[in-house]
Amino acid sequence: MLSKHDPPILLAKVDANEESNKDLANEYEVRGFPTLKILRNGGKNVQEYKGPREADGIVEYLKKQSGPASAEIKSAEDASSFIDEKKLVIVGVFPKFSGQEFDNYMALAEKLRSDYEFGHTLDAKYLPRGESSVTGPVVRLFKPFDELFVDFKVTW
């Protein structure tokens, strides 16, 4: 299923108990079995797999992980389908999709993509809750508890 994805997603199985694979297991700090790792950028970026453990769940999780680290929100409909009231979601509001603040946000999204859902938009009016006239750069954390959202002014 993953090989048919465009572009194909590679899934490799390595027996870390085999002597010939011990160095590889040590390099990627494999301590227990089964261990799944996500390798990007030729293995320079390694993340723990935190998704489901059955075939369909693995396929869906890896398809999502192979796309952009942050999804662009272009409408209120995009926001409502992206922002789930039962989980943490992080959305950056930016005046333009360039510059140091945006680049830093995207780098953070790439680094933490297996832990959180990231989105970005040019207009806060698409987002639920909070001030809709906020101009960026602002990062809005949506959460299913306490005050439900928090805005952070970006000063990177």
Helices vs. strands in the chain: H and E counts, helices first = 4, 7
CB distance 83 to 142 below 8 Å: yes
- Rounded CA-CA distance 121/60 in Å is 24
User: Whole-model pTM?
Assistant: 0.76
Q: Which CATH superfamily is domain 71-153 in?
A: Glutaredoxin (3.40.30.10)
Average pLDDT of the residues in 69-92: 93
What confidence category does residue 118 fall into, taking pLDDT thresholds of 50, 70 and 90? very high
- In the three-class reduction of DSSP (H, G, I as helix; E, B as strand; rest coil), residue 67 is classed as coil
% the chain with pLDDT above 90: 52
Confidence band (pLDDT; 50, 70, 90) for 127? very high
Would you tell me how many other CB atoms lie within 10 Å of the CB of residue 30?
Answer: 17
What are the residue boundaries of the structural domains of the chain, listed by start? 2-65, 71-153
